[in-house]
Structures are given as structure tokens and as C-alpha cells.
A and B are shown apart, each in its own frame.
Chain A
Amino acid sequence: MKKKPRLLYEFPWMLCLWLALGSCGQTKQETQKQLVLEDDLGREVTLNGQPERVMALAPSMTEMLFAVLDSSAIVGRTQNDDYPAAALTKPVVNNYPMDYEQLLRLKPDLVFTVEGITPPDVAERLKELGIPVYYQKYASVEDIFRGLEDIGRIMDREEQATLLTDSLRREVAQIAARHRQEEPPLRVLGLAGYDPIYVYGSSTVISDKLRILGAENAADETFDALTREFILKSNPDVLLGGTPQELERNFFSIYPELRKIKAYQNQRLYAPDFDLMSRPSPRVVESIRELEKFLYP
């Protein structure tokens, strides 16, 4: 039999000793610096101390950061981020496909993102590269406000965040008070794509915005392309997704059968600002106000 090489034989012992010795020195240093957070997905996010340089990997998240933080703390933006104007001055990191090298160059202490925008494997890879990723997720308007406060706590800007969310909550409460008695509630369908037909499903923030306005989402939960028959059956009072001219050209001309729905018959077709509609950001109140104008002209 071949003799085992000496080094390999002794290696496990050496490793244990090395780890034991090494950990003595390190634990002390790290307990001073390391921060362990839990994000909205229940993931553990370990930071080497109070983060100072951050960025976001989603347009809505960049808006969140700019609302709470000093512009100087934000080190970059993705190619799609266009609000607020100050974001445009930041260096661009392509997030699809992820430009790891550029992100490393900007050296953020922490990266914020939204569930569904950054795939888990990208977050894992970033963690390996020493950049922790913090996920938020939102199912309601209130979740967005809590997300802002969350950022405030992590970044030591709690006061700024609370001032902002207090005023946003007050505005939402005022709007909601105006629509408590809407009977029967308007049934609204929000189009996210014409061909195939995609709509904003019931678990999205849009349903909550409509609830605040005394209306309801006409769509069930769905992430699939919808059939014309499904839309015909849901028969919404209001259709969001484009001006009457746009919808005529790009939607009803493809699906002339859908001209039977109430929203078309009564010409209640509206074009909300797509970014306001789809981004869960501090501008959500602006979005609710826009929808209010459409629903109760």
C-alpha cells in the first residue's frame, strides 16, 4: 500500500489549530464592527460596520434611497434609474446582465434591491465578492413606508425617514377619508402589456392604492398572459394602460372583441404615468393622487 503523504495526514489537525488560533484574534475585532441584519426575505445580511456607501439595483429602490439619504452616500445607479434628477449624475452599473466589475469598482458597503428584480444567484455572487445585498418587498402602500423607515434605521437617518413617512401617511389618510363611502366600488383593471395581455394582479401594490381610493382591482391573482375571455368576464369599469387613442391603436385593434367591456363603452380609459404606476417608491402618494383624478374626474 502506498504511504499517505505526511502533510495530508496532518492537515486536518493543522487546520483546526489554525482556525482556533485565528478565531481568537478575529472574534474580538468583528464583534466591534460586524452588524447582522435580517432583510424582508428573511435572509441574514452581515455588514462590516455602519454602511456609508450604498446603491440600489432597482429604479424604485434608487428613489427610496434618494428620499432618505444624502446624495453623497449613494455611489451609483442602474441603467434604468432616471429619478430623481440627482440620480442621473451617478455612475451607471448595468444590472441585467449584472456588471460585477463596475459594482466592485464603486465599492458600496451595502446594496439595496427589491424582491423579484435581482435574482437570488446574483445576490449570492455579490456576497461572495464581499458586497452584501439587502432585499425589500412590498405588498401594500404601508410596506413602502416601512421600507423607508427600514433604510433610515440601517443608514442611521431615522429622523429624516420618520419625518418623511409621517407626512406621506397623513396625505394617504386624507385621500382615503374622501373615498370611504364609495358604493359600489369601481372595478379597475391595470394593463401592464398589450400583446400578450398582462395585468397588475391582486397581490400588487396597485390593489392597495385602489382600496385607498374606495375602488377594487378587477383582476384575480395572475402572473400569466390573460385570455380575451377572461377580460371580457371581469368586465372592468375603468381600464388603465394608455390614452384612448393609444389603446385604440395598440389594444382594441388587436382585440376588437374587447370593445364590449364597460370601460370601453363608457370611454373610461386612462394613461397613468407608467413609472408612478409600477415603481414602489416614495412617489406612491403622487400615484394615488393621479389615480384619484382618473377615477373621480
Chain B
Amino acid sequence: MSRAVSFIIALLLILVVLVLGLQVGSFESDLGTIANAFLHYDAANTTHFAIVHLRLPRLLLALVVGASLALSGYLMQAMVNNGLADPYLLGTASGASLGAIIVFFGFVPVTVLGLYMPPVFALLGAFAVTLVVVALGYRKRQLIPSQLLLAGIAISSLGTAMVGLLTFLSDSESKLRTVIFWSMGSFERASWGMLPYPATALLLALLLFVYYQKQLNILLLGEERAQALGVPVAQTRWVILATVSVVTGFAVATSGPIGFVGLIIPHVTRGLMGTTGQANLLFCAFVGGLFMLLCDLLSRLIYPPAGLPIGIITSFFGVPFFVYLLIRKNYAFKG
């Protein structure tokens, strides 16, 4: 299948799922109602209000978060030259979770930035943990990918233990509920006001890496070869780490930690498109977004009105698909 056709199919599927997603909710609404809600918006009509102000931002947030996590996974795997890497394995997501949870449990006063505290702390946490993991990954001024992965796993476990400790020590039932619910992932709090932050981060990251794509592809061939070909390896790495922290931080802060997407989607797109090429990165983001949209729709169809926690759906429906690809395509991640 040619690249252009794959892109057009992905885009069309995204549109179809968006339209389907707009129809699902507590207020009954068919295609006519949805068209009306956008073309002749009536502020007094609560169905219109729900479609425009609740459903659409929710779907767009799912799209952005899916794309962000898939992109982060793609970048991480390219950077450490290992198909196991993703924002979870390298501790970025657990750092973001820890940051957000510290705010939820009230360890920092929320008065300074109000509602923006969890995202800000998630970003700080993602940055801090990623820095520590990368520092531990160096030996003799060389980044050793296997050491980086092991450091990531260790620091992630520490992050999980700290989240567990905070949870255990908490004496407030409602805070516990907030954290437990949040940690399973949800797009329920999506709003037009929240959307610009992760969306901007994603767009900037995509633009940046369309520019960096060549270096990224050479980096996939191995660090020494990249160095020999004149790629500024160290600098590229820092750009990747900073981008992944920001993009993952925003995704986790707005929707909770949603596993699986960052690890699997890059493999799925490589399985569909091959392992090299300019368009891979963009396509990966598209497929990540589409996958998350589908999962959100499924979760709300299976378990209305609240929807099953999104992390459960991503794994339940993503893993069989991934296994199918693994068996059928017989491809290998080439580092």
C-alpha cells in the first residue's frame, strides 16, 4: 500500500470515528442533531451544548493524547535503539504520575496556579525523572541503551512505590478515589480550555521532528554510524528527551497514565509501513490518535454512560491486534 493511501485511510477512519463518537452519550443524538449542533448552534439546547462542549473536546483530547503517546514511544525507541523503550519504561510517565499525584494529595498548595497545578507538576516530574534516568544511563560519557533501560525500569519502580506510599498514607477517601480513578486513565474532564496545552505540545513536537527526521533515521542505524555521518548525536538526544518529557507530561497530566499505546503503536506502524522513511513519524502519531479514539468510543459503548477506564480498553483491544500483526507480518525491529 502506498504511503499516501495509508495516510488518507487513517485520516478518513479518524473522521468516521469522530462522527460516531459525537453520537454517543446520555443525550440521544443522530447525525441530524449533530449537524444542527454545529451549523445552527442553539445555546439553550442542552443536547447541542453537550455535543459541542463535552463530546467534541473529549474526542479531540483522546486524539491528541493517543498521538502524543505514540509519538513519544516512537522517539524513545529510535533514541535508545531498542523496541522495548516507551515513555513508561524510561520512567517519564511514572515521573509525570508522581508529580500529578503529589498535587492531588495536597502536598503542595494549589492556590498558586489553581487548576493548572497537576499539569505543571506532571511536567516537572516527567522532566526530573527522565533526567535522572538519562544520567544513570551514561558510562564514560557514552549513553549505553541497555543501561538506560535498566535505570528506567528501576526508577519507574521507585516512582510506583512512592505513589503507593502516598496512597497508603492518605487519610482522605475522596482524594484516594480521585487518584485511583485518575490512574486508570480517563478523558472525562476534557474541555476546550484544557485542550490547547497538549495539542500545542504535540504540534510543536511534530514540526520539530519532521525537521529532525533525517537525523532520527540515521540514529536508528546506531550511534557510531550516526556520529560518523555527521549527526550531532548528543544534541539530537537532548531534543528527543526534552520533547518526550513535555509531550508525555501533558498527556499524563490531562488524562492520567495510559499504558500500552507508546510501546505498541510504533511497532504497529512499522509493521504497516516498514521501518524507514520520512512519513513514519507522522503516520505513527495518526495511528496512535485513531487507536485512542476507537478505544474511547468502545469504552463508552460497552459501559455507558461513564465508560470503562481507558487503560483497560487500550490493553484489551490493542494486544490481540498487536499479536495478530506480530504473527502475520513476521517483521523485526531493525536497530
Check A232/B50 contact, CB under 8 A, given A193-B177, A253-B115: yes
- Contact indicator B55/A229 (Cβ below 8 Å): yes
Kindly state whether residue B233 has any CB partner on chain A within 8 Å. Answer: no
- Complex Cα–Cα for A161 and B115 (A): 50
Residue from A227, A255, A256 in contact with B305 in the complex, judged by beta carbons closer than 8 Å: A227
- Contact indicator A257/B188 (Cβ below 8 Å): no
Kindly state whether residue A225 has any CB partner on chain B within 8 Å. Answer: yes
- Contact indicator A196/B178 (Cβ below 8 Å): yes
Q: Point out the residues of chain B lying under 8 angstroms from A256, CB to CB.
A: 191, 193
Contact with A along B40-63 (1 / 0, CB 8 A): 000000100110011100000000
Kindly state whether residue B27 has any CB partner on chain A within 8 Å. Answer: yes
| CB-based closest 7 A-B pairs | A233-B26, A224-B306, A229-B26, A196-B181, A230-B26, A230-B305, A229-B25
- Contact indicator A228/B188 (Cβ below 8 Å): yes
Check A226/B115 contact, CB under 8 A, given A196-B188, A257-B49: no
- Complex Cα–Cα for A225 and B177 (A): 10
| Additional pairs, 11, CB under 8 Å, beyond known A227-B25, A254-B189 | A193-B174, A194-B174, A226-B305, A226-B306, A227-B188, A229-B50, A232-B27, A233-B26, A254-B115, A255-B189, A256-B193
- Contact indicator A232/B115 (Cβ below 8 Å): no
Contact with B along A208-237 (1 / 0, CB 8 A): 000000000000000011111110110100
Chain B, range 139-163, C-beta contacts under 8 Å to A:
none
Kindly state whether residue A195 has any CB partner on chain B within 8 Å. Answer: yes
- Complex Cα–Cα for A69 and B50 (A): 53
Which of B26, B181, B191, B303 is packed against the most chain A CB atoms within 10 Å? B26
Kindly state whether residue A294 has any CB partner on chain B within 8 Å. Answer: no
- Complex Cα–Cα for A256 and B26 (A): 18
How far does the Cβ of A28 sit from chain B's closest Cβ, in whole Å?
50
Kindly state whether residue B186 has any CB partner on chain A within 8 Å. Answer: yes
Which of A227, A233, A255 is packed against the most chain B CB atoms within 10 Å? A227
Kindly state whether residue A260 has any CB partner on chain B within 8 Å. Answer: yes
Q: Point out the residues of chain B lying under 8 angstroms from A257, CB to CB.
A: 49, 53-54, 191
Q: Point out the residues of chain B lying under 8 angstroms from A225, CB to CB.
A: 181, 188, 306
- Contact indicator B191/A227 (Cβ below 8 Å): no
- Contact indicator A260/B49 (Cβ below 8 Å): yes
| Sampled A-B contacts (25; CB under 8 Å) | A193-B177, A194-B174, A196-B178, A196-B188, A198-B177, A224-B306, A226-B305, A227-B54, A227-B188, A229-B27, A229-B50, A229-B54, A229-B305, A230-B305, A232-B46, A233-B26, A233-B27, A233-B46, A235-B46, A253-B114, A254-B115, A256-B191, A257-B49, A257-B54, A260-B49
Count of chain A to chain B residue pairs whose CB atoms are closer than 8 Å in the complex = 64
Q: Point out the residues of chain B lying under 8 angstroms from A196, CB to CB.
A: 177-178, 181, 186, 188
Nearest B residue (CB) for A194: B174
- Complex Cα–Cα for A77 and B115 (A): 39
Q: Point out the residues of chain A lying under 8 angstroms from B27, CB to CB.
A: 229, 232-233
How far does the Cβ of A170 sit from chain B's closest Cβ, in whole Å?
35
Which of A235, A253, A254, A260 is packed against the most chain B CB atoms within 10 Å? A260
- Contact indicator B178/A195 (Cβ below 8 Å): yes
- Complex Cα–Cα for A196 and B184 (A): 12
Nearest A residue (CB) for B27: A233
- Contact indicator B174/A228 (Cβ below 8 Å): no
Q: Point out the residues of chain B lying under 8 angstroms from A195, CB to CB.
A: 174, 178, 181, 189
Q: Point out the residues of chain B lying under 8 angstroms from A260, CB to CB.
A: 46, 49
How far does the Cβ of A51 sit from chain B's closest Cβ, in whole Å?
31
Q: Point out the residues of chain B lying under 8 angstroms from A253, CB to CB.
A: 114-115
Nearest B residue (CB) for A231: B26
Nearest B residue (CB) for A261: B46
How far does the Cβ of B126 sit from chain A's closest Cβ, in whole Å?
22
Contact with A along B114-138 (1 / 0, CB 8 A): 1100000000000000000000000
Nearest B residue (CB) for A196: B181
Chain B, range 176-201, C-beta contacts under 8 Å to A:
177-178, 181, 186, 188-189, 191, 193
How far does the Cβ of B187 sit from chain A's closest Cβ, in whole Å?
10
How far does the Cβ of A43 sit from chain B's closest Cβ, in whole Å?
27
How far does the Cβ of A187 sit from chain B's closest Cβ, in whole Å?
15
Residue from A193, A227, A232, A235 in contact with B306 in the complex, judged by beta carbons closer than 8 Å: A227
Q: Point out the residues of chain A lying under 8 angstroms from B177, CB to CB.
A: 193, 196, 198
- Complex Cα–Cα for A190 and B212 (A): 54
Contact with A along B45-84 (1 / 0, CB 8 A): 0100110011100000000000000000000000000000
Q: Point out the residues of chain B lying under 8 angstroms from A194, CB to CB.
A: 174
- Complex Cα–Cα for A106 and B230 (A): 77
Q: Point out the residues of chain A lying under 8 angstroms from B114, CB to CB.
A: 253
- Complex Cα–Cα for A281 and B25 (A): 37
- Complex Cα–Cα for A256 and B193 (A): 10
Q: Point out the residues of chain A lying under 8 angstroms from B305, CB to CB.
A: 226-227, 229-230
- Contact indicator A228/B46 (Cβ below 8 Å): no
How far does the Cβ of B194 sit from chain A's closest Cβ, in whole Å?
10
How far does the Cβ of B64 sit from chain A's closest Cβ, in whole Å?
19
Nearest A residue (CB) for B43: A260
Q: Point out the residues of chain A lying under 8 angstroms from B49, CB to CB.
A: 232, 257, 260
How far does the Cβ of B261 sit from chain A's closest Cβ, in whole Å?
22
Which of B49, B54, B186 is packed against the most chain A CB atoms within 10 Å? B54
- Complex Cα–Cα for A253 and B110 (A): 13
How far does the Cβ of B113 sit from chain A's closest Cβ, in whole Å?
13
Q: Point out the residues of chain B lying under 8 angstroms from A230, CB to CB.
A: 26, 305-306
Chain B, range 89-115, C-beta contacts under 8 Å to A:
114-115
Contact with B along A126-154 (1 / 0, CB 8 A): 00000000000000000000000000000
